[in-house]
Structure 1
Amino acid sequence: MIREDKFLISRKPFAVDLGSLRGVREDTPQGRNPYYFGGRMDAVWFRRRRGVTVACIGTLWDLQYPEPTDALEFLRQHDDGRYGGDCDGRWDGSGYWGGGTLAEQERHLAILRPMLTNYPAIPPGFDGWWTFQAPR
């Protein structure tokens, strides 16, 4: 991924919680690498759905070799954006979409409501904007 200072929704950027990197190292008996690191990071992003700007919350994930030493290395090594982020919750200004417990939905909305209100500002605790698209 590439970090950009300017927000352009057309470049499908993500803001990430750099302290949220987690994952496991799994041995791979076949293939060219002896193991892979299955990592995930919490992320938020804006998208347009049917002409409406929405705020999303979820995770970015990747399988990597070698294992990254930190969150920034994980992001720099993450170069396959075809799956985007796994969305766990979405707020469009009037309705919420998501699953999980009521407590989890309330936690999502505590981030998503002010995020959409302050569009396109990066929410507190997140670093952005990160994109899979090539630099211009």
Structure 2
Amino acid sequence: MIREDQFLISRKPYAVNLNSLRGHRSPTPQGRNPYYFDGRIDAVWFRRRRGTTVACIGELWDLQHPEPTDARQFLQQHDDGRYGGTTHGRWDGDSYWGNGTLAEQERHLAILRPMLANYPAIPPGYDGWWTFQPAR
């Protein structure tokens, strides 16, 4: 991924919580690497859905070797964006979509409501904007 200072929704950027990287080593049964790092990092992003801007919350994940030393290295090594982020919740200004407990929905909305209201600002606690698209 590449970090950009300017927000362009067309580049499908993500803001990430650099303190949320988590993962574990898993053995690799084939190939030349003895293991891969199965990592995940919390993220938020804006997208357009049927002409409406929505705020999304979820995570980015990747399998990597070698194991990254920190979140920035994890993001810089993450070069396969075909799956995008895994969405856990989405807010369009009128309704919430998600499949979690009520407490989790409330936690999501505490981030997503002000995020959408302050579009395209990065929410507090997040770093952005990170994109899979090549630099221009």
Do the two structures share a fold, i.e. TM-score over 0.5?
yes
DSSP 3-state at the match of 2:30: coil
Task: Find the counterpart in structure 2 of residue 106 from structure 1.
Answer: 106
Task: Find the counterpart in structure 1 of residue 125 from structure 2.
Answer: 125
Q: Deviations over 1:85-126 (max 9, x none)?
A: 000000000000001100000000000000000000000000
Task: Find the counterpart in structure 2 of residue 5 from structure 1.
Answer: 5
DSSP 3-state at the match of 1:109: helix
Deviation at 1:29, TM superposition (A): 2.6
TM-score with structure 1 setting the length: 0.99
Q: Percent identity?
A: 82
Task: Find the counterpart in structure 2 of residue 31 from structure 1.
Answer: 31
Q: Gaps spanning 5+ residues in structure 1: where? A: none
**In 1: Cα distance, 2:60 partner to 2:30 partner:** 26
Q: Gaps spanning 5+ residues in structure 2: where? A: none
Q: Deviations over 1:1-55 (max 9, x none)?
A: 0000000000000000000000010111311211000000000000000000000
Give every structure 1 segment of 4 or more consecutive aligned residues whose post-TM-superposition deviation is greater than 3 Å.
Answer: none
Aligned length: 136
Task: Find the counterpart in structure 2 of residue 115 from structure 1.
Answer: 115
TM-score with structure 2 setting the length: 0.99
Task: Find the counterpart in structure 1 of residue 44 from structure 2.
Answer: 44
Residue type of the partner of 1:79? D
